[in-house]
């Protein structure tokens, strides 16, 4: 089977830093990506890691350790607009099929 585990909810303060973890067990692995989804909207792409290490894109960074089947999304200088659900997703085939994690609902407090 395929499973991606994330915390269901995280709460943080505006301006702070938050890390959302993702562990996965999949039949194949070609890369880990992160998506943001606001209520009622479609997911939007944040980052993609195919190799171990840290990828930085503005306030967001993503990390991958393939040996640990683990990754995380780091959000810095949190803003109220960052309140949303965040999904990790694993590309499980060369045909680019991806499987989503259960999602983490991030709430930002002033």
Partner 1 sequence: GAVVSQHPSWVICKSGTSVKIECRSLDFQATTMFWYRQFPKQSLMLMATSNEGSKATYEQGVEKDKFLINHASLTLSTLTVTSAHPEDSSFYICSAIPPNQQIYGYTFGSGTRLTVV
Rank residues 72 and 103 by Cβ distance to partner 1 and give the closer one.
Answer: 103
Q: Can you read off the two tokens belonging to residue 105?
A: 């609902």
Asked whether position 99 contacts partner 1 by CB under 8 A, the answer is yes
Across 27-62, b (16+ Cβ under 10 Å) vs e yields eebebbbbbbbeeeeebeebbebeeeeebeeeebbb
Q: By CB under 8 A, how many residues form the interface with partner 1?
A: 23
Q: Can you read off the two tokens belonging to residue 83?
A: 């309140």
Pick out residues in 28-87 that bind partner 1 (CB under 8 A). 33, 35, 41-48, 50, 87
- Residues of this chain that interact with partner 1 (CB under 8 A) are 33, 35, 41-48, 50, 87, 89, 95-103, 105
């Amino acid at each position: 089977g395929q499973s991606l585990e994330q915390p269901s909810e995280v709460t943080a303060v505006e301006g702070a830093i938050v890390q959302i973890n993702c562990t996965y067990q999949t039949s194949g692995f070609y890369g880990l990506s992160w998506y943001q989804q606001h209520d009622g909207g479609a997911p939007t792409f944040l980052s993609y890691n195919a190799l171990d290490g840290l990828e930085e894109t503005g306030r967001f960074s993503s990390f991958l350790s393939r040996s640990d089947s683990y990754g995380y999304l780091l959000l810095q200088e949190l803003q109220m607009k960052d309140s949303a659900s965040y999904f990790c997703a694993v590309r499980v085939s060369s045909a680019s099929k991806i499987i989503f994690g259960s999602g983490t609902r991030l709430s930002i407090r002033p």
